[in-house]
Amino acid sequence: MLILEADRISKSYGKVAALTDFSLEISAGETVGLTGLSGSGKSTCARILAGLERPNTGIVRYAGKELTGANPAIQMIFQDPAGSFNPVRTIYQSLSAVLHLQGVPKSQRRDLLSEHFQNAGLQTEILSRYPDQISGGQAQRVAIVRGMLVHPKVMILDEPTSALDVSVQAQILHLLKDIQKENGMSYVFISHDPSVVEFMADRVISL
Amino acid sequence: MKNILEISDLSVSFPGPNGKIPAVRNLSLSLGPGECLAIVGESGCGKSVVAHAVLRLLPPGTEVLGRVSYQGQDLLHLSESEMDQIRGQEIGMVFQSPERALNPVMKIGKQLISPQVMHGLCSEKDAELRAKGVLRSLGLDADRIMSSYPWMCSGGMCQRIVFAAVSLLHPNLVIADEPTKGLDAANVTDLEAMLSTVTAGKSTGLLLITHDMDVASRLSNRIAVMYCGMIVEEGETRSVLSSPKHPYTRGLLGSLPKNGFVPIPGISPALSDLPNGCVFHPRCAFAEETCRTDIPDLKDGVRCRRC
């Protein structure tokens, strides 16, 4: 079943064409890899597919309907995990806000987060820390947990392991594979490292 | 030939809310002219702290013990003005995040000319000519770059500019701290070519700090593997990578793409709460009872290892 589709999308910033006439179809449970050199338009493509930016021309459809903005069913994981959290809020405060929007009562939030943390190989003591008090690998796991809290159907992963060490990278890649196996989510996996894309993706598109 | 750098029994601790946090423990290393020594390990293992300790760039309040001998003089006992003469001209550093290493509000030309003039290497006019020459040799449009600000350049260009700034002062020792972090494959290849010129003249040493084992394998003669502030294995690069002896080194190599991304179980302990005995024992499949109580010595020899 087709879940996310980009139909001839283009994006320019001033005179610079970041993405030209790009098309993509992603089925449920599939992982599509996007690879290419710096400046090839990978991250632009990611933001458009996540609904964070609109293309100048072309259309993006999620579950058959035009995507006109951010949609909780499509979550994005960024390259710099620590930078994607509010620096003056503890990890618990950041994640609790997501559960609040989901309508989860305050009394249940810590237990629910502890369960997610355990599944992601994180210690619950991290909940009381600030983003700059955790390692890059821990922050990326927390970012994945945050994405999972809203039960997405598609995860856009923009260079999720580029800033991580090889050993932590291996752990995160296996974690993502386990999550996909359990939830049947679709991934758009973006990396400049062909070996990482090859390991994760069912098929690869080079930009 | 005499070593350029000799680090003996270096220990670095940061102040923490519940006492000292040991970032580097009893580390000893040496580096000769024309040699490249790579320090590899996970984030937070203390690799960059070693580099910053050598150049005395650690924040106030940090406790640094041991000896850092550069061409016979202990850098830990020099005055700040003496260190100013060492930094740049004697020991150059290629920092990670090149965009942040450059002054964002100063044109690149000035950033390349001023250090040469400050160190008394040449006149301002000659400094400009030299800077343009080095930029051209690195494949950059020298005239345009000299009049640009760092934010007008890509990450790969900034990394070349930082390298130009270092090489213009002809240091005897270059420290490259995660120089390939965040660069794509093409820029990594270019940077490796630049770094290999450092040791080509056989007089300059290169201390390469990286988590990228492929880069370390291509550039270094010797490799030191760090875990939780300690060297767990050290030896000739080819030998360490082809037949690793320490379980952590084996785990690190197993995580590589070519070896199937096999992760090391568990996570690195917090430096403020290190386990007793061998620091790696909670994650080690081969741990024995003694590993839980005794810190293994770094066995000397062609291949030093703590296991």
Q: Is there a contact between A162 and A77 (Cβ–Cβ < 8 Å)?
A: no
Q: Of B96, B23, B4, nearest to B66 (Cα)?
A: B23
What is the pTM (predicted TM-score) of this model?
0.82
Tell me the per-residue pLDDT of A55-91, one tens digit each, with 9 for 90 and over. Answer: 999 999 999 999 999 999 999 998 877 778 999 999 9
- Neighbour count for residue B159 (Cβ, 10 Å): 29
pLDDT tens digit string along B150-169?
988 888 889 899 999 999 99
The share of chain B scoring above pLDDT 70, in percent, equals 99
Per-residue pLDDT tens digits for B22-56: 999 999 999 999 999 999 998 788 998 999 999 99
Q: Tokens for B50?
A: 């070693």
Distance separating alpha carbons of residues B133 and B277, to the nearest angstrom: 54
Chain B within 8 Å of A137 (Cβ-Cβ)? yes
Query: pLDDT for A138-180, tens place per residue?
Result: 888 899 999 999 999 999 999 888 777 788 888 889 989 998 9
Rounded distance between C-alpha atoms, residue A105 and residue A108, angstroms: 6
The percent of residues above 90 in pLDDT, for chain B, comes to 66
Mean pLDDT of chain A: 90
- pLDDT over 80 (residue B1): no
Contact B94, B163 (CB under 8 A): yes
Partners of B38 in the β-ladder: B208, B223
* pLDDT above 90 (res B300): no
B 135-154 residues inside an 8 A Cβ radius of A: 154
Residue B302 pLDDT more than 80? no
Give chain A's end-to-end CA distance (angstroms, integer): 25
From chain B, pick out residues whose CB is under 8 angstroms from the CB of A121.
Answer: 267
Give me the residues paired with residue A190 across strands: A34, A158
Banded model confidence at residue A123, pLDDT cuts 50, 70, 90: confident
Quick one: pLDDT band at residue B145, thresholds 50, 70, 90? very high
The Cα–Cα gap between B168 and B150 comes to 18
pLDDT band at B201 (very low <50, low <70, confident <90, very high): confident
Q: Give how far Cα B163 sits from Cα of B48, B50, B186, Å.
A: 18, 20, 16
Which residues of A fall within a CB distance of 8 Å from B261?
169-170, 173-174, 199
Higher pLDDT, B256 or B185: B256
Whether the per-residue pLDDT at B96 is higher than 70: the answer is yes
Structure ipTM:
0.70
The Cα of A129 is separated from the nearest Cα of chain B by a number of Å equal to 13
Amino acid (one-letter) located at B122? C
Query: How crowded is residue B109: how many other Cβ atoms within 10 Å of its Cβ?
Result: 19
B263 interfacial to chain A (CB closer than 8 Å): yes
Taking a C-beta distance cutoff of 8 angstroms, is the pair A90, A96 a contact? no
Residue B303 has pLDDT above 90, yes or no: no
Nearest-Cα distance to chain A for B23, in Å, is: 14
